[in-house]
């Protein structure tokens, strides 16, 4: 099966399985989404969703968040891991949003990436899930699956994002990156499938004999 045929099959299959793509992280606006995505780095969405209610009860906007003592933020977000960096980033970006953006999350990926703790993937999630602009956030999870399914040979998430954007039309980007995540968690996890188990893997590579080993980013 050629790459284009694999891409077409994957898109069709994922759309059948996941016609709706709700944002996994609980939030009420773009600020709470930004904070939740920042907290999700090297942490499960499930754990983030357990932590953010307490954090947003204390401060759900940058004006209130900048007033919270750093130690208070740290104690709340500690279960998410990397708490020293994440708490400083949340406090710092809140101050910048108030001082430079009238308390609003900027609708500009370049400006988002200048905020503390906000990398390209986090900014892309906010642009796609928050503002609705076409973006294809690629984390290590999507990177691994894209390699496993023969959609990219990229050695890093940057190259993988570039390859996926070439393969799929812009209109599918926002939903597709979530569909890939949903499918990976349910059917094609690192432990649950080695490239020879799930429906997508066996359809794309029916003759694969050995476990597939993805190149780490």
Catalytic residue ranges: 121, 139
DSSP class of residue 25?
Answer: S
For 31-54, letters b (16+ CB in 10 Å) and e give: bbbbbbbbbbbebebeebbebbee
Q: Is 202 helix (H, G, I), strand (E, B) or coil?
A: helix
Cα 118 from Cα 187, distance rounded (Å): 30
Cα 68 from Cα 75, distance rounded (Å): 12
Q: Residue 102: is it exposed, middle or buried by C-beta count within 10 angstroms (0-12/13-18/19+)?
A: exposed
- Residue 100, token pair as written in the block: 């430079």
């Amino acid at each position: 099966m050629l790459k284009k045929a694999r891409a077409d099959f994957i898109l069709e299959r994922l759309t059948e399985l996941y016609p709706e793509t709700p944002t996994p992280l609980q939030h009420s606006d773009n600020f709470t989404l930004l904070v939740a995505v920042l907290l999700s780095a090297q942490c499960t969405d499930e754990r983030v969703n357990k932590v953010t209610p307490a954090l947003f009860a204390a401060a759900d906007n940058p004006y209130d968040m900048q007033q919270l003592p750093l130690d208070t933020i740290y104690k709340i977000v500690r279960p998410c891991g990397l708490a020293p960096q994440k708490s400083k980033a949340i406090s710092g970006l809140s101050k910048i949003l108030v001082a430079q953006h009238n308390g609003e999350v900027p609708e500009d990926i370049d400006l988002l990436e200048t905020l503390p703790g906000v990398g390209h993937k986090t900014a892309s999630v906010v642009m796609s899930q928050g503002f609705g602009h076409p973006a294809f956030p690629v984390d290590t999870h999507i990177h691994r699956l894209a390699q496993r399914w023969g959609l990219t040979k990229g050695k890093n998430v940057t190259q993988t994002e570039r390859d996926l954007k070439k393969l799929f039309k812009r209109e599918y980007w926002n939903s597709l990156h979530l569909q890939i995540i949903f499918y990976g968690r349910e059917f094609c996890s690192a432990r649950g499938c080695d490239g020879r188990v799930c429906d997508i893997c066996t359809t794309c590579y029916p003759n694969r004999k050995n476990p597939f080993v993805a190149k780490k980013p």
